[in-house]
Structure 1
Amino acid sequence: MTTDELFEIDDPRRGRVAAFGGMAFHEIRARTMLNRMAGAPAGGMAWTLNPYRGCAHGCTYCFARTGHQRFGFGITEDFSNQIVVKVNAADILRAELRRGRARGDWVMVGTSTDCYQRAEARYRLMPEILTALADHGVNFTTTTKSALLKRDTELFARAAECADVLVMTSLGSLDDRVRRAFAPAASPPRARLDTIRALRAAGVPAGVLIAPIIPHVGDHPAALDALVDACVDAGALVVFPDVMRLKAVLRPWFLHRVAADLPPRLARRFAAGYGRREAMPEDYVRRVTAHVDARARQHGLPTWPEYIAARTPAKPEPARQLRLL
């Protein structure tokens, strides 16, 4: 695919295509980096920032796959081998922060695709992004499945001295067979926990997004207990459980992959659970989530809403009219 197919020929943002190990990196110049979330409260998780689009980790369930279509790509193999790189990300971010954008709010870095995927080892966009956020005292969080994040531990530590920072790793199972089946290019579970351990040793607030919890392969109570225990042992300050959901347009391809990669018995279970719906039944989701929360509480960890509430400015009391007599 050429850049002319990716963007209109007269689009000033278009750049070159850099081949790399079976992948194509589409280098573009972004016009904006900070995107306001509709309805976000002041002082809360209000902005997103994505230096990359598409992700080499190849997670078969990834919700961001559908967003790849707006770049002219497909949602299956294209998502993991056609990566859009915003090569001027840090410069644009600095310009926006100088204008006061995101002041007092939280920025979520890498909501659509992992900022520490394979492309980051080549382009090294994150160090300058982290430096810009720290220089302006911006509260931010990021989530990764890559041990590459450890490279920037000192930068995260510096940022944490200037603002509220929370680094999350996403991990739904300690069983590496689950990783190989559903997120083949993500770092192994133990490497992700080691990343949390390194961050905590450097004084960086860090936690674990226990997600996705994949039914039939990662939802056994004993397995969830062991996962929460391992997160606590690594120093996680909070865990956030989330059961796998599948967008409707992605389900046929996901179920095709499941049928090809998993034993027939498991493939039939996934087809029964997700063949006609995007999520498992609500009572199942509540039960699994409650189990993880209960295990975390045994270790003294807050729930995700409790953790966020403690770091969100309280809304001011409305002014009241004084009564005369």
Structure 2
Amino acid sequence: MGCAFACSYCYVRRMPIALFRKQQWGTWVDIKEQAHEIFGKELKQAKKKGPVTIFMSSSTDPYQPVEYKEKVTRALVEVMTAEKPDFLFVQTRSPLVTRDIDLFTKLKDRIRISITVETDLEEIRKTFTPQAPPVRARLHALNKLREAGLPVQAAISPVLPFSGEFPKKLSEIVDRVCVDDYFKGDGSGGKRTERLGIREIYKSLNLQQWYNEQTINKTIGELNKVFDPSQICISRNGFLPDPHQ
């Protein structure tokens, strides 16, 4: 629980786990002990009741810095290679995800790995998510996963200001993208994000035109120039199991 990446726009900042902690979001992480043992038992029980799909994860990046040492996520994936879920969706912004390619390949017919790439502009990344991995490292990770034969997607989530070359850069690496914004993706029509003061960051950069509900449509329009519409997912649809799963 908790996330060291501390992205400025993260909606989890407005959820009870963050508000009641009374510590600045991004300064603490709680490590679940023996998680793989508990998870293994729960997974077996869940499979007896029907199909099991897993999102790893919605509020805590599974490959944040502490994972280098603790390997909690790796232990959970090891459990899943032995007791396979029907579908595993891995969502991260960390290049560390490539460490577990050896395990992912055992699940590749029932897995998708999504890496957040909100922009191709490193200065924008540094402004909004200074503690997150560099853009180039994330693109390299996507390419490495794809070369390993794994299903991947780039999550432009949320859309941040980007260059005109961004869609083309992504099309050279992935064949699927998910586009999301503050208004569709924060669970409150953008109200949580507004309370975080994100609008002020846009004002400080003189980029207010990017902070509105039309930005996602303009982004999709740019992506349509290099991607087939079937390769573009919007908001929550990009984080669901494939229809055949």
> Do Structure 1 and Structure 2 share a fold, with TM-score over 0.5?
yes
Q: Structure 1 191/257 Cα, relative in aligned 2: closer, same or farther at 3 Å?
A: same
CA offset digits 1:22-48 (Å, max 9, x no partner): xxxxxxxxxxxxxxxxxxxxxxxxxxx
Q: Which has the larger radius of gyration?
A: 1
8 Å contact 1:130–1:159 — kept in the other structure?
no
Equivalents in 1 of 2:244, 2:135: separation in Å? 34
Tell me which residue corresponds to 2:180: 242
**Which of residues 100, 123, 135 in structure 1 aligns to 2:82?**
135
CA offset digits 1:46-91 (Å, max 9, x no partner): xxxxxxx2211111001122225467314xx621012122122211
Equivalents in 2 of 1:125, 1:310: separation in Å? 23
Say whether 1:232 aligns with 2:175.
no
Give the AA of the match of 2:191: A
Say whether 1:113 aligns with 2:52.
no
Equivalents in 1 of 2:24, 2:15: separation in Å? 12
Equivalents in 2 of 1:159, 1:288: separation in Å? 32
Give the AA of the match of 1:202: A
Give the AA of the match of 2:43: L
Say whether 1:177 aligns with 2:123.
yes
TM-score (norm 2): 0.82
TM-score (norm 1): 0.64
SS in 1 for 2:180: strand
Q: How does 1:54-65 map to 2 (within 5 A)?
A: 54-65=2-13
Tell me which residue corresponds to 2:27: 81
Alignment length (residue pairs): 236
Alpha-carbon offset, residue 105 of structure 1? 3.4
Q: RMSD of the TM alignment (CA)?
A: 3.0
Q: Structure 1 256/237 Cα, relative in aligned 2: closer, same or farther at 3 Å?
A: closer
Equivalents in 1 of 2:239, 2:201: separation in Å? 35
8 Å contact 1:90–1:129 — kept in the other structure?
yes
Tell me which residue corresponds to 2:99: 151
8 Å contact 1:143–1:167 — kept in the other structure?
yes
Give the AA of the match of 1:107: I
8 Å contact 1:209–1:240 — kept in the other structure?
yes
Higher relative contact order, chain-length normalized (CA < 8 Å, sep 6+):
2
Alpha-carbon offset, residue 116 of structure 1? 0.5
Equivalents in 2 of 1:301, 1:233: separation in Å? 16
8 Å contact 1:54–1:65 — kept in the other structure?
no
Tell me which residue corresponds to 1:304: 233
8 Å contact 1:59–1:182 — kept in the other structure?
yes
Give unmatched runs, 5+ long, in structure 1: 1-52, 274-279, 315-325
8 Å contact 1:242–1:289 — kept in the other structure?
no
8 Å contact 1:154–1:202 — kept in the other structure?
no
Q: Structure 1 301/192 Cα, relative in aligned 2: closer, same or farther at 3 Å?
A: farther
Alpha-carbon offset, residue 122 of structure 1? 2.1
